[in-house]
A and B are shown apart, each in its own frame.
Chain A
């Protein structure tokens, strides 16, 4: 069949009209509300002002999750991950400005920050996964990954606003690698390794209500006054005393993208520490709202397809009526 330019454009216009009609007919896209915190949610609190940068959590994480070394230097002597990735679920990074001689200070100072999975309340990676390989545990809220269900589409990699899930690129059968809050250790009644090994309690584990209480307690502390800080897990009784820092009011993860189960406290603004400013509405609530409205009852797709068929039929009919043209 030889299709003339004129008849092609006619058909295309018809299809476009059908599409426009369908868009008007279907209900306006509405976002669903943010998901809420699971009832027995557990989480981690990272306090940048308590962190001394010992990287015990980085080493402990590797041990607990049986991860290989991640080299970034030419001599490849040490495990020196530059960021989280398929070989590293947890990393301590540094913000340093100017002479960098005072801790927890933005100008001429430095601060540490931990990067690992935020365990969002309404996670994008779970929302985008077409095969539910990424799931959020209904009770604990841990964002988990099932390699047996995964088809390797890497939508989760693209969807995460924190760049957490990462795919292995050095194997023909790649898996998604990310922190699962040491769920295997939690199943044995233990706590995540990063909280277990932290010598200052900069990373502490606990149920979300207890963590929230601890956050409020720390926010109420007067800067410079000696305070007691717990280690490992809320209620461990394993404490140490030190002067409190001047905390920011902003606790990262309380409101960002509907909240996360991994929260950060700091004296240096989070944009400087590499944590993006994010809105309170979760991305998955919006994208799911649009998608679920468009495909509701399959009405819109049927209308669009009908319009296209009609337009195509009409175009070929004209062609048949005037074979000499």
Chain B
């Protein structure tokens, strides 16, 4: 646990985080930008992060590959791992804790008792429910029991990764262990999900920072995903979108179209039915193209239940164009109607015709009368 007894002032950022104040403010601004928060929010975030009391975080692992943790730890953003470990008090995390066995379990129980109702529970991995949940046990407890125990007094529960969100890879049909997500296992609807395989660490960090700053979770969609990250289709922000619109597709891996960077739709890209900010936020801070589609692999839809790990990778995506925009309707009104000038011209001609007609009508029969005389 981080010992902050030697911290002299709140603004003593250099000492506490081991980064320059400038870098720290950059981080706060980046978090605010990720969440689409208004100007000034970065200052609020800075104030929240530098608070003395760091919230306790308990991080559970179930059926998973630890990819979410690895993704978070390997984030290349300057001192990100340091920041997240120092901003919060990570009291239990099976990958990074130094303790083992009963010692570790005791630390978890102590943290839970000390921070009752205030700690943040992060769950990584799916929870097996079949046969009494015997397929994953930690310290003699099944995943379900452990999660239920920790979630009861948590201020908020965050499910990180696709496995914790809805079951992810372990739940792929026929789902032999009955894997499911945290929300479904606990029967709760207020659980934040950060799906992805792995999820982008910034989406997780931004959600946590939002919680620290404003004391509540960011706006969520119907699947518990923060809308700042999962509000838009990958397809709509994809750098290969122009190729899709023009009908230029890679037909197989390594063909001329693939080499030219054409659209990967025909290879099974799920971008058109997957909501995530991957093309905008990218991965690992190494510059453009650092996301699956950017490197030439179709999106597998890892943030979408029933798509990622379930729909075959080569299967074509359905376009989530609902409601559809940008198409002509069955009946389209065309033309611009009558302008004032054209209406005036038509009226003038019509008036002339009526006048001439009356004049002719007046003369009708006059010559015949003359003839008869």
Contact = CB atoms under 8 A, between A and B. Distances in A.
Interface in A7-64: 52-57, 59-60
Given A82-B334, A83-B334, A99 B318 contact: no
Contacts of B319: 52-54
B351 to A, nearest CB: 28
A241 B315 contact: yes
B324 A91 contact: no
A8 B134 CA distance: 108
Contacts, number: 89
Contacts of B324: 53, 94, 96, 100, 110, 112
B27 interface: no
Contact of A94 (B272, B316, B328): B328
B330 A59 contact: no
B312 A92 contact: no
A124 B102 CA distance: 87
Contact of B328 (A54, A59, A91, A110): A91
B327 A99 contact: no
Interface in A79-105: 80-83, 91-96, 99-103
B321 A53 contact: yes
Contacts of A133: none
B329 A96 contact: yes
A137 interface: no
Interface string B247-262: 1010000000000000
Interface in B80-107: none
B285 to A, nearest CB: 32
B327 to A, nearest CB: 4
Contacts of A2: 371
Contacts of B332: 82-83
Nearest to A275: B330
Contacts of A52: 272, 316-319, 321
B318 A103 contact: yes
Given A200-B316, A242-B315, A242-B316, A56 B327 contact: no
B314 interface: yes
Contacts of B330: 93-95, 113, 272-274
A306 interface: no
B316 A103 contact: no
Contact of B327 (A93, A102, A199): A93
Interface size class of A (residues with CB under 8 A): 35 or more
Contacts of A102: 322
A157 interface: no
A185 interface: no
Interface in B315-349: 315-319, 321-324, 327-332, 334
B244 interface: yes
B24 interface: no
Interface in A234-292: 240-242, 272-274
A92 B327 contact: yes
Contact of A57 (B247, B321, B323): B247
A95 B314 CA distance: 29
B266 interface: yes
B361 interface: no
Interface string B234-252: 0000000000111101000
Nearest to B244: A54
A169 to B, nearest CB: 12
B202 interface: no
A93 B327 CA distance: 6
A233 interface: no
B322 A100 contact: yes
A61 to B, nearest CB: 10
B265 interface: yes
A156 interface: no
28 contacts: A52-B319, A53-B319, A54-B244, A54-B247, A55-B327, A56-B245, A59-B247, A82-B328, A82-B334, A83-B332, A83-B334, A93-B327, A93-B328, A93-B330, A94-B328, A94-B329, A95-B330, A102-B322, A110-B321, A110-B324, A112-B327, A197-B249, A199-B247, A199-B316, A240-B315, A240-B316, A242-B315, A242-B316
Q: Which 8 A-B pairs have the closest CB atoms?
A: A56-B247, A100-B323, A94-B327, A274-B330, A197-B247, A52-B319, A82-B332, A82-B328
Given A82-B334, A100-B324, 6 more contacts: A54-B245, A54-B265, A93-B329, A94-B329, A95-B330, A112-B324
